[in-house]
Amino acid sequence: MRITPRRIRSKLESGDKAYGIAVQLPSPEIVEAVGYAGYDFAWIDAEHGAFDFSDMRELIRAADAVGIDSLVRVAGHDPTAIQHALDLGATGIIAPDIRDVRQIRAIISAAHFAPIGTRGACPCGRAVGHLSQDWSSDYRQMDADVLIFGIIEHPVGVVQGSRRVDLPALRRQPHRSAGPDHQPVVLLLELPDFLDNVALYQS
């Protein structure tokens, strides 16, 4: 199985902060520079960035080459787009404009294989090194490692997020990403006590 950097998870599990840069241009060299500069991950912005799936693959590959994680901000909540990003080898996804628990459930489902979710299985994709030698073990490892972020960007989402939610997979520690005009609340879905230690910077 393909070995992923796991920089975010390793840093946060040890109590350290994880730092990353948002990338909106289809340049693998920018992602390489992010890694060489000592950051832990590249936020690949497929919602606002100027690139397609082929470009995304090369950006994820560049992150792998310099040993950093890749988080893809998908354009919406489409399960196919979420699966595509993860199948290309992204460490995780960032889902925009979260407004209710129904959306959270659907996003978590799209990012996990059965029986947890509905992500399509492919034992010969890039995420597993193009050929899994032990699929039953590899898909469980991918389910355990995937990082899923959601961003609350609308007043409706803020109201919904302020209510008590009986959903074990939702960890409601808000973090504001740095930016001059836009301060969305970012939620890390599924992992406890991580988000307070994640810092995102817009390039």
Least Cα distance to 79 among 119, 126, 113 occurs for 119
Q: Dump strand ranges (E) for 79-157.
A: 92-95, 147-152
Read off the pLDDT of residues 150-179 as tens digits, 9 standing for 90 and up: 888 766 655 455 444 443 343 443 444 444
Chain centre to alpha carbon of residue 202: 16
CA–CA separation, 138 and 140 (whole Å)? 5
Least Cα distance to 197 among 6, 7, 8, 4 occurs for 8
Grade residue 15 by pLDDT with cuts at 50, 70 and 90. confident
CA–CA separation, 100 and 70 (whole Å)? 26
Average pLDDT over residues 136-152: 91
Grade residue 189 by pLDDT with cuts at 50, 70 and 90. low
At residue 183, the pLDDT reads 54
Coil/strand/helix, residue 79: helix
Grade residue 104 by pLDDT with cuts at 50, 70 and 90. confident
What residue ranges define each of the domains in the chain, with the CATH number in brackets? 7-202 (3.20.20.60)
The vertex-153 CA angle with 151 and 158, nearest 5°, equals: 95
Instruction: Yes or no: say if 37 and 29 are a contact pair by the CB < 8 Å rule.
Output: no
End-to-end Cα separation, the chain, in angstroms: 32
Q: Which residues pair with 202 in a beta bridge?
A: 22
Task: Provide CB contacts within 8 A for 130, sequence distance 6+.
Answer: 124
At residue 199, the pLDDT reads 46
Read off the pLDDT of residues 56-85 as tens digits, 9 standing for 90 and up: 999 999 999 999 999 999 999 999 999 999
CA–CA separation, 45 and 31 (whole Å)? 12
Write phi, then psi, for 61 (nearest 5 degrees). -60, -40
CA–CA separation, 65 and 134 (whole Å)? 24
